[in-house]
Amino acid sequence: MSGLPAWAGAFDPDRIETVAALPLPLPVRDWAWGGATGHGVKVAVVDSGVEADHPRVGGLAGAVSIEPNADGGTKVVEGLHEDLVGHGTACAAIIRMLAPDAKIYSVRVLGSNLKGRGATFLAGIRWALDNGIHVVNMSLSSKSDQWFGPLHEIADEAYFRNVMLVCAANNVPGPTYPSQFASVFSVAARPGSDPHAIAYNPRPPVEYGACGIDVDVAWQGGGSIVATGNSFATPHVAGLIAALLSKHAGLTPFQVKAVLQAVADNAEG
Amino acid sequence: MTTPSPELAALLVRIGDLAGQATRPTTLRAELARAAASVRQLLDAAACSIALVEPDGGSLRFFAADGAGSQAIIDITMPVGRGIAGWVAMAGQGIAVGDVSRDPRPARAVAEATNYVPTSILAVPLMDEEGAVLGVIEVLDPQLGSDDTGRALDVLGTVGDQVASIVRLAQVYDNLGAALLRALTQAEDEAGFGDALRELVATEGDELAGLAVAFHDLASLGSDASILARRVLEEVAAFARSRR
Per DSSP, A69 falls in state -
Average confidence (pLDDT) over B27-52: 92
Of B57, B92, B161, the CB nearest to A115: B57
Helices within chain B (DSSP H only): 6-23, 25-42, 70-73, 83-91, 108-114, 149-174, 176-186, 190-204, 207-220, 223-242
The pLDDT value given to residue B179 = 62
User: How far, CA to CA in Å, does A197 sit from each of A237, A244, B14, B87?
Assistant: 9, 14, 62, 27
* A19, A267 contact by CB (below 8 A): yes
- What digits encode the pLDDT tens for the residues A125-138? 999 999 999 999 99
Domain A19-268 has CATH 3.40.50.200: yes
Candidate ranges A9-18, B7-16, B221-230; pick with highest mean pLDDT = A9-18
Q: Would you place residue B216 in the very low, low, confident or very high pLDDT band (cuts 50, 70, 90)?
A: low
Q: Within an 8 Å CB–CB cutoff, is residue A172 touching chain B?
A: yes
Tell me the sheet residues that pair with B78.
B60
Q: Which of A28-37, A214-223, A224-233, B77-86 has the lowest mean pLDDT?
A: B77-86
Q: What is the ipTM of this complex?
A: 0.84
Strand-strand pairing, A185-190 and A224-228:
unpaired
Selection from B94, B108, B105, B89 nearest residue B142 by Cα? B94
Which of A47, A143, A166, A172 to probe the B interface (max B CBs under 10 A)?
Answer: A172
* B238, B26 contact by CB (below 8 A): no
- Higher-scoring residue by pLDDT: A113, A4: A113
Q: What percent of chain A has pLDDT over 90?
A: 72
Chain A residue numbers touching B124 (CB-CB < 8 A): 171-172
Domain B43-154 has CATH 3.30.450.40: yes
Chain A residue with Cα closest to B145: A214
Chain A residue numbers touching B102 (CB-CB < 8 A): 219, 223-225
Give the start-to-end residue ranges of the domains of chain B: 6-23+175-242, 43-154
Instruction: Tell me, rounded to whole angstroms, the distance of Cα B102 from its chain centroid.
Output: 33
Under 8 Å CB-to-CB from A16, ≥6 apart: which residues? A10, A199, A201, A265, A266
Give the start-to-end residue ranges of the domains of chain A: 19-268
A residues 222-241 closer than 8 Å to B (CB): 223-232
- Residues B15, B213: Cα–Cα separation, whole Å: 12
Q: Which amino acid is at A79?
A: G
Q: What percent of chain A has pLDDT over 70?
A: 97
Chain B residue numbers touching A143 (CB-CB < 8 A): 92, 127, 130-131
Q: Within an 8 Å CB–CB cutoff, is residue B162 touching chain A?
A: yes
Is the Cβ pair A229, B131 closer than 8 Å?
no
- What digits encode the pLDDT tens for the residues B172-213? 666 665 666 666 666 666 666 667 666 666 655 555 556 666
- What digits encode the pLDDT tens for the residues B104-148? 454 566 666 677 888 889 999 998 877 789 999 999 999 987 678
Q: Is the pLDDT of residue A2 over 50?
A: no
In chain A, beta strands by DSSP E: 19-20, 42-47, 62-68, 74-78, 103-108, 135-138, 164-168, 185-190, 198-200, 208-211, 215-218, 224-228, 267-268
Q: Within an 8 Å CB–CB cutoff, is residue B53 touching chain A?
A: yes
Selection from A148, A5, A147 nearest residue B161 by Cα? A5
- Residues B27, B33: Cα–Cα separation, whole Å: 10
Q: Is the pLDDT of residue A244 over 70?
A: yes
The pLDDT value given to residue A151 = 95
Residue A105 phi/psi, 5-degree rounding, is: -115, 135
Selection from A178, A77, A165 nearest residue A118 by Cα? A178
Q: Within an 8 Å CB–CB cutoff, is residue A180 touching chain B?
A: no
Q: DSSP string spanning B184-221?
A: HHH-SSHHHHHHHHHHHHHHH--HHHHHHHHHHHHHHT
The pLDDT value given to residue B130 = 75
Residue A42 phi/psi, 5-degree rounding, is: -100, 125
Of B58, B125, B146, the CB nearest to A172: B125
- Residues A60, A63: Cα–Cα separation, whole Å: 7
B residues 185-214 closer than 8 Å to A (CB): none
Q: Would you place residue B19 in the very low, low, confident or very high pLDDT band (cuts 50, 70, 90)?
A: low
The pLDDT value given to residue A54 = 97
Q: Is the pLDDT of residue B244 over 50?
A: no
Of B131, B155, B158, the CB nearest to A145: B131
- Residues A64, A106: Cα–Cα separation, whole Å: 6
